[in-house]
Amino acid sequence: MLNARPSRVGVNASSRSAWTASGNVHGPVGRGDFPPEVVVTAKAVACELPKRTRQPVSRLYVPDIRRELIERGLVDSISPETIWRWLEEDALKPWRHRSWIYPRDPDFQEKAVPVLDLYERRFEGHPLEANEYVLSSDEKTSIQARVRCHMSVAGNARHVRLVEHEYSRGGAFAYLAAWDVHRAKLFGILEPTTGIRPFGKLVAQVMAGEPYRSARRVLWIVDNGTSHQGARSVERLEGAYPNLRLIHLPRHASWLNQIEIYFSVLQRKVLTPADCDSLCELQERILVFQDRYEQSATPFKWKFTRHDLAALLARLSAYDDYALRTAA
C-alpha cells in the first residue's frame, strides 16, 4: 500500500490522483482556458462563509469550491490543481480558521487605552516615574494533575514520544501569577481554587516586598474575573494598600493582558502534555519553572498601541457594515 502524502487541497495525494483518473474530471485544464470571471468567482467563494453558499460544511476545501463552480454552471469541469493555483496567487486558505473574541464591551476602547498606555509607561497623559510599577495579573484555573495509566515512552528515530491516552485524576489547583511588565519579575502562588482570598494572598505577597512596598504607585492590570471584579474590588484593594491602583481591562480582553503570554509559555512547556506522577509533583514543577523562567526573562516586546487599537476597531466596524449589507 502506498503511503498517502498530505496535499494542500485538503486531501492526500493518492486521493488527488484518483480524481484525475475518475470520470468526473476530464483532465487538467490550462491556465488560459477559463475566463476571468471564473477565477474571480472561485476566489469570492473561498472568501465567503460556507453557510452563504448553502454548503453543508463548516469550512471550504478545494473540492468544495470546485463543486460550487460546477453547480453554478460556470464550468463543466475543472481540476483541483487549477483552483489551488488561483488561491495560492492571493494566499487564500479557506480551510484554515482562527478563534477570536469579538470586542463586546460597549466601553472597550475607553477601558483598553489606559492599559496600552501603561505598557508604554504612560498613565493619564503623563509618563510614569521611576518608582512607579505596572503589574499584569490573572489566574490559571483548574490545572489538572493527570496520572497516566502507563508510563510515557520517549521518542526515538522510529516514533515520537508516546503518552498514554487514559489517566487517573490526581486532583486540581489554581495558579495565580503577577508579571512586572517593565522589570520582567514574576510572582506566583498555588491555591486549591480562585477567589477573593487567594488573589488577596498574591497581592499581599507582592506588596510586602520592595520596591513595591515603598513605591509611589503600583498599578495592577486585571480582568473582570470574580476574584477582582468591579468597584468593590477597587475599594477593597486600594483601601488596603494606599499606593495600589487597580486597572480593569474591558470584558473579554484577555489578549491585552501580558500575563497571558507567560501562561501560554507555561501551557506549552509544562502542561502539554500534563504528564505527572502526583499533584505535588506537578505543583513543584510549575514553581521550579517559574523560577527558571524569571532568571532569563526580559520584558515582552509589546507593540500594540492605542493607535493600533483604533485602527482595529475601525476595521471591525467596517466588517459589521459589510455583514449588514450582504445580509440585507
How would you write 268-293 as a 3-class SS string?
HHCCCCCCECCHHHHHHHHHHHHHHH
Q: Which of 1-15, 187-201, 289-303 has the lowest mean pLDDT?
A: 1-15
Domain coordinates in residue numbering, the chain: 13-89, 108-306
Q: What confidence category does residue 19 fall into, taking pLDDT thresholds of 50, 70 and 90?
A: very low
Count of Cβ atoms closer than 10 Å to residue 272 Cβ = 10
* 259 CB burial (10 A radius; 0-12, 13-18, 19+): buried
| Whether 133 contacts 219, CB under 8 Å | yes
pLDDT of 251-287, one tens digit each?
989 999 999 999 999 999 999 887 888 999 999 999 9
**pLDDT at residue 323 tops 70:** no
C-alpha angle 211-191-151 in degrees, rounded to nearest 5: 120
**pLDDT at residue 155 tops 50:** yes
> From CA 186, how far away is CA 282, in angstroms rounded?
19
> From CA 232, how far away is CA 218, in angstroms rounded?
18
Distance of CA 97 to the CA centre of its chain: 12
Positions of E strands within 223-320: 244-248
pLDDT of residue 321: 65
Count of Cβ atoms closer than 10 Å to residue 246 Cβ = 20
**pLDDT at residue 66 tops 90:** yes
> From CA 140, how far away is CA 267, in angstroms rounded?
10
173 CB-side CA count, 13 A:
20
pLDDT of residue 39: 96
Express as a percent the part of the chain with pLDDT over 90.
Answer: 69
SS3 122: strand
Q: Which of 45-59, 76-90, 276-290, 298-312 has the lowest mean pLDDT?
A: 45-59
Mean pLDDT taken over the chain: 88
Q: Which residue's C-alpha cell is 474590588?
A: 233
pLDDT of residue 25: 38
Residue 170 C-alpha cell reads as 490526581
Q: Which of 133-137, 164-168, 227-231 has the lowest mean pLDDT?
A: 164-168
pLDDT of residue 275: 81
**pLDDT at residue 118 tops 50:** yes
**pLDDT at residue 231 tops 90:** yes
pLDDT of residue 8: 47
Rg (CA), the chain: 27
| Whether 133 contacts 178, CB under 8 Å | no
CATH fit for domain 108-306, picks 3.30.420.10, 3.30.70.270, 3.90.850.10, 3.40.50.720:
3.30.420.10
pLDDT of residue 9: 47
Q: Which residue's C-alpha cell is 526573562?
A: 297
First to last CA, the chain: 52
pLDDT of residue 148: 80
Element (H, E) at 135: strand 132-148
Q: What confidence category does residue 205 fall into, taking pLDDT thresholds of 50, 70 and 90?
A: very high
Cis ω for the linkage preceding 273 (within 30 of 0): yes
> From CA 239, how far away is CA 245, in angstroms rounded?
10
Q: Quick check: pTM over 0.85?
A: no
For the CA atoms of 309, 238, 174, 133, the dihedral, rounded to the nearest 10 degrees, stands at 60
- The residue-averaged pLDDT of 64-73 equals 94
Identify the bridge partners of residue 179 per DSSP, sorted by sequence position.
Answer: 136, 186
**Greater pLDDT, 180 or 18:** 180
pLDDT of residue 126: 97
